[in-house]
Amino acid sequence: MMIKDFGAPVEKVWEGLRPVTKKMIVGALQADSGNSPNHAQTQKFSYDTQSDWELSRLLTALDEQLKDAAIRKNVKKLAEIRELAETCVRVLETQTGSAEVFIQLAERILRRNNYDKFDKLSDTLTHRFSPSEIAEIIRQTEAAQIRAVAYETLALLPTASLITLLDDTLYAEIAVNALEQQAFEYDSDEARQILDQLDLEID
């Protein structure tokens, strides 16, 4: 696989990656293809918010290249770009806790009408994303399906987690909506009491 053959946009993003990120991607590619001498070793890598940003940018560039008419005529190159894109996706799906990246992955899945995969991705919200990141997904996305699953996740969190969002002007309305869902759909007395208190404060 020669990155320069994937087009200038991909090559530019690749050249801007940190060496540790390049090594992580190569290791993940080898593990996916079964060519790694030590599969477990390739799964051990350092991951941070910069890794999120770099992989997200690379995935965006790869997806754009997949739309290129000239590349779509080259079966071998098309397959290699798809393989690299799916490797980025797999790493991001198992590591990201970012609202922006979740939206990117979810929109990509929904464009392919892969609802089983969307459900699996949505399951990561509960154990990997903070309440504020879930609220940020709701704030940023324009997709009704993504917003719905994020609201559902917030409504299933402990009520105390939602209270912390009420002090943030960006997320206060989202928190109130989630509390209403807890109160009226899940019959939560605690959520109802908080809403009653909020009504008194407004009055």
Q: Is the pLDDT of residue 36 over 70?
A: no
- For 186, which DSSP code? S
107 within domain boundaries? no
Q: What tens digit of pLDDT does each residue of 130-147 get? A: 999 999 999 999 999 999
SS3 203: coil
Could you count the other beta carbons within 10 Å of the beta carbon of residue 105? Answer: 23
- Asked whether residue 47 falls in the same domain as residue 131, the answer is no
In degrees and rounded to multiples of 5, residue 129 shows phi and psi of: -105, 140
Q: At what angle do helices 99-111 and 144-156 cross, to 10 degrees?
A: 130
101 within domain boundaries? no
Number of domains observed in the structure of the chain: 2
- Asked whether residue 119 falls in the same domain as residue 65, the answer is no
130 within domain boundaries? yes
**End position of a domain, from candidates 95, 130, 149:** 95
80 within domain boundaries? yes
- Asked whether residue 84 falls in the same domain as residue 134, the answer is no
- Asked whether residue 3 falls in the same domain as residue 90, the answer is yes
Domain that holds residue 120: 113-203
Q: Cα separation of 109 and 40, whole Å?
A: 27
- What share of the chain has pLDDT > 70, as a percent? 93
